[in-house]
């Protein structure tokens, strides 16, 4: 089987740290409530860099870590649900920022599951032999979507970017499970901000309905309880299924890197998976939930700290708006 080899990883952490105490200045909440319900103490926010600029910083760090130049990259995949532009896509902007030329550039959006989907796409392109070295960047500036009057959601999210450089891993295992439940989309969404510029004619009421989006819905809308319930089951089931597919057991896995949404979601899902706490990576306390950036930022921190060792079997697992979910197992 041909899996992947992660040659290097890098992250970009925004400069501004919004603490729980700071949130109490403009919403009715407390450090105690947020810490005990979510595990988050601080979320990083980017007042000075657009999403594509954060993505480019993470990409540069990943190239450095991998010992690769931008010219050696022959495919760029960006996962984001908070792009700065409708078009061009973020991957083209990253390509320009890092000085890569000519390679295909695509964006994907499966919200917080984005990195797992992107890795899967990369793995398949690498397996065909069409491309040798792929840059994956997951970057999110959720501060541009969040309504800071909504205490049920604004406490969770932060900004950040993570990137990896991957090549084919000859004879390395790689297994994945991906899925989506589109009928649950209303549990977590943010509508595009159409301007009311559509010419009005008799008979085009459907279009008018699209245009007249209440301003509120152009900010992140979330049914926290519904997402919570979905997340625990979806993560536990995805890990169970990917283990079955691989023929491995949870004891064969050296490290689980889950989407960093809420410590209680992670703990409940892991309890179902029967995985030991010390095998699970978390950093949400200091980053908040940075959607698809959580996992690659985690991988870059794990690499930098020396905790990742060649030969380790890693399990990534996540869920997000869609609602989407996914898990994969690969050898580092
Ligand atoms: O990447 C995926 C992103 N989304 C998620 O992961 C969301 C998953 N869901 C969650 O993490 C949790 O549902 C939340 C942390 C969002 C909320 O926690 P909860 O334990 O489900 O609280 P709740 O919504 O049931 O609210 C309980 C109470 C309510 O008050 P009443 O009606 O009982 O009086 C809320 O109004 O807590 C209140 N509340 C707050 N109180 C203080 C809600 N938000 C806050 C707050 N501070 N920030």
Measured distance CA(180)–CA(129) in Å, rounded: 28
The pLDDT profile of the chain, 332 residues, written as one tens digit per residue, is 689 999 999 999 999 999 999 999 999 999 999 999 999 999 999 999 999 999 999 999 999 999 999 999 999 999 999 999 999 999 999 999 999 999 999 999 999 999 999 999 999 999 999 999 999 999 999 999 999 999 999 999 999 999 999 999 999 999 999 999 999 999 999 998 777 666 666 766 656 666 667 788 889 999 999 999 999 999 999 999 999 999 999 999 999 999 999 999 999 998 998 899 899 999 999 999 999 999 999 999 999 999 999 999 999 999 999 999 999 999 99
pTM of the model: 0.95
Nearest alpha carbon, ligand 1 atom 17: 224
Ligand 1 atom showing the smallest separation from residue 151 Cα: 48
Residue of 81, 103, 112, 328 marked active site: 112
Strand, coil or helix: what is 56?
A: helix
How many Å lie between the centroid of ligand 1 and the Cα of residue 279?
27
Residue of 20, 117, 154, 259 marked active site: 259
Q: Could you give the C-alpha distances from 47 to 25, 61, 130, 156, 220, in angstroms and in order?
A: 18, 20, 39, 17, 18
Which of these, 98, 89, 83, 93, lies nearest to 165 by C-alpha position? 98
Measured distance CA(234)–CA(229) in Å, rounded: 9
289 is catalytic: yes
259 is catalytic: yes
Which of these, 86, 88, 85, lies nearest to 105 by C-alpha position? 88
Sign of CA dihedral 235, 286, 137, 296: negative
């Amino acid at each position: 089987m041909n899996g992947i080899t992660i040659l290097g990883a890098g992250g970009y952490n925004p400069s501004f740290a919004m603490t729980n105490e700071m949130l109490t200045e403009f919403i009715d909440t407390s450090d105690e409530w947020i810490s005990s319900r979510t595990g988050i103490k601080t979320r990083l926010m980017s007042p000075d860099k657009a999403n594509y600029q954060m993505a480019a910083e993470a990409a540069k760090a990943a190239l450095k870590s991998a010992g690769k130049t931008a010219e050696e990259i022959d495919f760029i995949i960006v996962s984001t649900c908070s792009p700065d532009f409708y078009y061009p896509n973020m991957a083209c902007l990253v390509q320009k920022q890092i000085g890569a030329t000519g390679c295909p550039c695509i964006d994907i959006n499966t919200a917080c599951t984005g990195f797992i989907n992107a890795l899967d796409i990369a793995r398949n392109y690498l397996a065909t032999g069409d491309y040798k070295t792929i840059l994956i960047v997951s970057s999110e500036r959720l501060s541009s979507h969040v309504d800071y009057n909504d205490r049920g959601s604004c406490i969770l999210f932060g900004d950040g970017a993570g990137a990896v450089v991957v090549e084919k891993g000859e004879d390395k295992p790689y297994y994945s499970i991906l899925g989506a439940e589109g009928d649950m989309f209303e549990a977590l969404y943010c509508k595009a901000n159409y301007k009311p510029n559509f010419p009005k004619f008799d008979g085009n009421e459907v279009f008018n309905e699209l245009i007249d989006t209440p301003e509120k819905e152009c900010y992140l809308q979330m049914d926290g309880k519904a997402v919570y319930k979905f997340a625990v089951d979806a993560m536990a089931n995805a890990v169970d299924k990917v283990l079955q597919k691989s023929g491995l057991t949870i004891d064969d896995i050296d490290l689980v890197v889950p989407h960093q949404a809420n410590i209680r979601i992670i703990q409940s899902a892991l309890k179902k998976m029967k995985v030991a706490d010390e095998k699970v990576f978390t950093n949400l306390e200091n980053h908040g939930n940075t959607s698809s950036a959580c996992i690659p930022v985690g991988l870059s921190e794990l690499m930098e700290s020396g905790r990742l060792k060649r030969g380790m079997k890693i399990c990534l697992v996540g869920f997000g708006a869609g609602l989407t979910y996914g898990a994969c197992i690969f050898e580092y």
